[in-house]
Amino acid sequence: MAQEDVFKKIVSHCKEYGFVFPSSDIYDGLGAVYDYGQNGVELKNNIKQYWWKSMVLLHENIVGLDAAIFMHPTVWKASGHVDAFNDPLIDNRDSKKRYRADVLIEEQIAKYEEKIDKEVAKAAKRFGDNFDEAQFRATNGRVLEAQAKRDALHQRYSDAMNAMDLDELKQIILDEEIVCPISGTRNWTDVRQFNLMFKTEVGSTAEGASTIYLRPETAQGIFVNYLNVQKTGRMKLPFGIAQIGKAFRNEIVARQFIFRMREFEQMEMQFFVKPGTELDWFKSWKQTRLAWHQALGFGNENYRFHDHEKLAHYANAASDIEFRLPFGFKEIEGIHSRTNYDLSQHAKFSGRKIEYFDPETNESYTPYVIETSIGVDRMFLSVMCHSYEEEKLDNGETRVVLRLPAALAPVKLAILPLVKKDGLPEKAHEILNDLKFHFNCKYEEKDSIGKRYRRQDAIGTPYCITVDHDTLKDNCVTLRDRDTMKQERVPIDSLCSLLEDKVSLTSLLKKIQ
Ligand code: GAP
């Protein structure tokens, strides 16, 4: 099945099974805004718990914070967002559709890369075991031609972005003959800058309302609280502050479901270090964060680092963790060495001294910062995409199964009485009332047992138990494993200890310890 079709299926599965709904669905939705349903909110909360515990519980020197979304407007002047948090946009006059000029060009670069990959795949098939990929890439005429075009375009694009040369961006789009996917024409407007921050007003008009912004990142809430946390927590460098919260960006191109949203959630951690040590910490956080992802068992080959060539003016290193989604490798998380830029800017704009007194050297300095920043929604999407499977069974049927890591699954255990009579529902409720204190259980009695298993497979429930007539005599139930579909008879009083280890976050966290 084409990857595009797989993705469409995942999107409709998310809606059908209560994971993600379009916002204001009865009004036909709102662009790039989504609601999480009864199963989605559980999965999302589990992802957040996995991240929070890995940061705050497993590190003695990382503490949490929950800063407000609204902040003093000067914060965004100091951080540079008012002046520079822009995307270059371009309109097609025929379709009246708006695009990000940089995205149009990046897609063109990706087309050259796809062409090369296709040539390589074709040759690999033709030559089989004797295929020498490196030699093929270095010598094949068609590959070399596509590579040269890709490299030249990439260079021209990087130069234009570095200089924020909007005319040159438009010229690249014209020279590459990029057409609007809707109208198919090249009738483009000039490229303009567009600030991504949402504005609103605080205070009544009579008192003199002032413009404030919905935060476009949670990080600034951490920077402005650096002194508060460091002093009240008596924190010693190096230390980190972690935060999970909503962020808002008026994205021009809203596509790919929850990959790019206008209201989304971030999990960010700012790690404050002694100047000069930041690049060692940057390296170490890259590995720590990669290990966090890999512990989920989605296959190490599905992750890669993308080290930034073009660095923001305040950064001295930056790298993305990319994950293979149905539409290619995409950024899920950013790790940035942000120097002392943010703290220095806030010191300048607030007039406050924002420094650290180092008791070991008896000197004061502005700490440097390593940031790890991951989108909850992108993480959610990567978990869904990797877990969704249409499995062909031996009997010729197909089942849809979400192979979610058990610790992230919305429901850990479904409790199913075989029939709705003979005291089986009562027995099942007895088990539920005991186990619900340990993990999320779901009781279901409607439909045949086969249909109920399928429904649980589709929402990723790792275990089901069936309460049957024998249960009333022997106090045992049939335990079914989602992935293998194997069934075994187990005593009810062993269920808690048997399952807790498999479904709790603790076992996942132990893998990264
Ligand atoms: N404080 C740094 C920062 O915000 P970023 O690379 O702009 O850096 C970090 O964003 C992460 O936030 C991204 O890797 C992505 O996972 C998520 N993210 C950014 N924009 C998003 C959007 N419009 N929709 C969903 N997630 C987004």
SS3 465: strand
- Pick from 379, 353, 357, 373: nearest CA to 296: 379
Determine the distance separating the centroid of ligand 1 and the alpha carbon of 162, expressed in angstroms. Answer: 20
Determine the distance separating the centroid of ligand 1 and the alpha carbon of 266, expressed in angstroms. Answer: 7
The Cα 288–Cα 282 span in angstroms is 10
Q: Is 333 in the pocket of ligand 1 (CB under 6 A)?
A: yes
Determine the distance separating the centroid of ligand 1 and the alpha carbon of 402, expressed in angstroms. Answer: 26
Domain 403-512 has what CATH class? alpha beta
Token duo for residue 251: 């994205």
Determine the distance separating the centroid of ligand 1 and the alpha carbon of 217, expressed in angstroms. Answer: 8
- The CATH label, of 3.20.20.240, 2.60.40.10, 3.30.930.10, 1.10.10.10, for the domain at 1-69+216-392 is 3.30.930.10
- Pick from 211, 189, 215, 193: nearest CA to 202: 211
Q: Is 260 in the pocket of ligand 1 (CB under 6 A)?
A: yes
Exposure string (b/e) for 187-219, b if CB count within 10 Å is 16 or more? ebeebeeebebeeeeeeeeeeeeeebbbbbbbb
Determine the distance separating the centroid of ligand 1 and the alpha carbon of 260, expressed in angstroms. Answer: 8
pTM score of the predicted model:
0.91
Residue for token digits 């809430």? Answer: 221
The burial class, CB within 10 Å (0-12 / 13-18 / 19+), for 58 is middle
Q: Is 375 in the pocket of ligand 1 (CB under 6 A)?
A: yes
- Distance, CA of 452 to chain centre: 30
| Domains in the chain: boundaries | 1-69+216-392, 86-195, 403-512
Exposure string (b/e) for 245-257, b if CB count within 10 Å is 16 or more? bebbbbbbbbebb
Q: Residue 181, preceding bond cis, omega within 30 degrees?
A: no
The Cα 232–Cα 253 span in angstroms is 42
- DSSP string covering 38-84, please? HHHHHHHHHHHHHHHIIIIIT-TTEEEE---SB--HHHHHHTTHHHH
- Pick from 148, 150, 116: nearest CA to 133: 116
Q: Is 249 in the pocket of ligand 1 (CB under 6 A)?
A: yes
- The CATH label, of 1.10.287.70, 3.30.40.230, 3.40.50.2300, 2.60.40.10, for the domain at 86-195 is 3.30.40.230
Q: Name the residue with the closest Cα to ligand 1, atom 19.
A: 375
Backbone angles phi, psi at 358, to 5 degrees: -90, 110
The Cα 38–Cα 493 span in angstroms is 29
Q: Could you tell me which residues are beta bridge partners of residue 67?
A: none
Q: How confident is the prediction along the chain (513 residues), in pLDDT tens digits per residue?
A: 777 889 999 999 999 999 999 999 999 999 999 999 999 999 999 999 999 999 999 999 999 999 999 999 999 999 999 999 999 999 999 999 999 999 999 999 999 999 999 999 999 999 998 899 999 999 999 999 999 999 999 999 989 988 889 999 999 999 999 999 999 999 999 999 999 999 999 876 656 668 899 999 999 999 999 999 999 999 999 999 999 999 999 998 777 899 999 999 999 999 999 999 999 999 999 999 999 999 999 999 999 999 998 788 889 999 999 999 999 999 999 999 999 999 999 999 999 999 999 999 999 999 999 999 999 999 999 999 999 999 999 999 999 999 999 999 999 999 999 999 999 999 999 999 999 999 999 999 999 999 999 999 999 999 999 999 999 999 999 999 999 999 999 999 999 999 998 999 999 999 998
The Cα 139–Cα 144 span in angstroms is 7
How are strands ordered across the β-sheet holding 476-481?
A: 441-443, 413-417, 463-467, 476-481, 487-491
Backbone angles phi, psi at 97, to 5 degrees: -95, 150
Q: What is the largest CA-CA distance in the chain?
A: 80
Residues 6+ apart with CB under 8 A from 121: none
Give 154's DSSP letter.
H
Token duo for residue 337: 């060495």
